[in-house]
């Protein structure tokens, strides 16, 4: 085998040298931006890749600077569309930091040490094609100003934001995902009203005492766990025909704070009201599939909450029902429940 390899290399060597390249060069030459790697050279259009980052020749529009111990944003070639700067110690983004990076589509700045005062007011103005901006796990006290209206995915969770005002999200018609959870938000005013395309909103683990006003009509997933909300507005879901997932566990909800038939709407797939202060099972639609009510103060298993009429053709599509940690037992489940809840594969009491 060794002899065959030598013969093969001997045969190839004259051909390789005649074309000006050494077939064994990859064994001893260190890869750099300007050296040849196989048949590829690193792209230097719009500027060379900084030494502290990687710009793969096979994906020249991406620049990987994540986890390098950086304290400042390096020079960015103008060709770069995908910029990874997460898991560093970057503390500022001055207006000049992205002046050459106007083609950015993704900007990952999560898990750094950014503060609101250290982000330039005009740093994002020229990023007219930016679609994803990740700023979670920093030290921001407010939403950065002048965010691109092209954004589709904005993640600013795990910061210290206390208030969101309408101008923070103004004009973001394309935004579909907004992560604001794990902040200190007490008020969102009507800031969500303009988000015409928003489908996922996560505002859990904040300091909210009420549901935000003017929720976007195309909302599909709505997460509000770990707040201090004790009531819901009238016609809470009336203007949200596409909403399928609601999670409101770990709040202060009571029966009197939930208008009748609030959750009796078709389209809802999952409802999580666990760890609240409910004493009764709220009325839900027969199309609901997953209901979580554990760790409340429920004292009665009311079958009418699931089925207004119980017969062969009228039944609930509920598959999961959790009632453990309440003040009822298995003996409190009426015999008719087998007909009403015939699809339920799991009922925990």
What pLDDT score does 313 carry?
A: 80
Residues across the chain: 349
Helical residues (DSSP H) of the chain, grouped into ranges: 2-18, 337-340
In a domain, 256, yes or no: no
Strands 40-41 and 62-64 turn out to be: unpaired
In a domain, 167, yes or no: no
In a domain, 3, yes or no: no
> Domain of 63: which CATH number?
3.80.10.10
Both tokens of residue 36? 């040849």
Q: Which residues pair with 272 in a beta bridge?
A: 247, 292
Query: How do the residues of the chain divide into helix, strand and coil, expressed in percent and rounded to 5?
Result: 10, 15, 75
In a domain, 187, yes or no: no
In a domain, 62, yes or no: yes
In a domain, 84, yes or no: yes
Burial pattern 120-153, b for ≥16 Cβ within 10 A else e, equals beebbebbeebbbbbbbbbebebbbebbbebbeb
**Which stretches of the chain score pLDDT less than 70?**
1-42
Domain that holds residue 82: 53-160
* Main-chain phi, psi angles of 262, to 5 degrees: -55, -45
In a domain, 188, yes or no: no
In a domain, 44, yes or no: no
Tell me the pTM: 0.86
Beta strands (DSSP E) in 243-330 are: 245-247, 270-272, 290-292, 320-322
Q: Which residues pair with 82 in a beta bridge?
A: 62, 106
d(CA 125, CA 147): 7
CB 209 within 8 A of CB 189: no
What pLDDT score does 6 carry?
A: 39
The total number of structural domains in the chain stands at 1
What pLDDT score does 346 carry?
A: 79
């Amino acid at each position: 085998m060794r002899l065959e390899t030598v013969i093969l290399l001997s045969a190839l060597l004259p051909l390789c040298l005649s074309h000006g390249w050494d077939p064994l060069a990859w064994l001893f030459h260190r890869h750099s931006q300007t050296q040849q790697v196989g048949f590829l050279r690193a792209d230097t259009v719009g500027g060379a890749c900084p030494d502290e980052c990687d710009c793969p020749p096979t994906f020249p529009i991406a620049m990987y600077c994540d986890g390098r111990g950086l304290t400042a944003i390096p020079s960015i070639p103008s060709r770069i569309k995908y910029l990874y700067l997460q898991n560093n110690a970057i503390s500022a983004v001055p207006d000049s930091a992205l002046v050459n990076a106007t083609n950015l589509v993704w900007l990952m700045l999560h898990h750094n040490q950014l503060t609101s005062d250290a982000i330039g007011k005009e740093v994002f103005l020229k990023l007219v094609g930016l679609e994803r901006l990740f700023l979670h796990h920093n030290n921001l006290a407010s939403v950065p100003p002048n965010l691109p209206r092209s954004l589709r995915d904005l993640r600013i969770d795990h910061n210290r934001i206390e208030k969101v005002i309408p101008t923070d999200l103004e004009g973001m018609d394309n935004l579909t995902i907004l992560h604001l959870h794990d902040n200190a938000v007490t008020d969102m005013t009507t800031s969500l009203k303009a988000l015409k395309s928003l489908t996922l909103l996560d505002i859990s683990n904040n300091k909210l005492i009420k549901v935000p006003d003017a929720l976007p009509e195309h909302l599909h997933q709505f997460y509000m766990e770990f707040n201090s909300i004790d009531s819901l507005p009238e016609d809470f879901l009336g203007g949200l025909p596409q909403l399928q997932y609601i999670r409101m566990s770990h709040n202060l909800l009571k029966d009197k704070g939930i208008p009748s038939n609030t959750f009796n709407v078709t389209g809802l797939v999952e409802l999580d009201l666990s760890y609240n202060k409910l004493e009764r099972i709220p009325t839900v639609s027969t199309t609901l599939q997953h209901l979580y009510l554990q760790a409340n103060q429920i004292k009665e298993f009311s079958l009418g909450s699931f089925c207004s009429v119980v017969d062969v053709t009228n039944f609930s599509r509920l598959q999961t029902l959790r009632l453990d940690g309440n003040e009822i037992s298995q003996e409190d489940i009426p015999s008719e429940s087998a007909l009403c809840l015939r699809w339920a594969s799991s009922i925990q009491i």
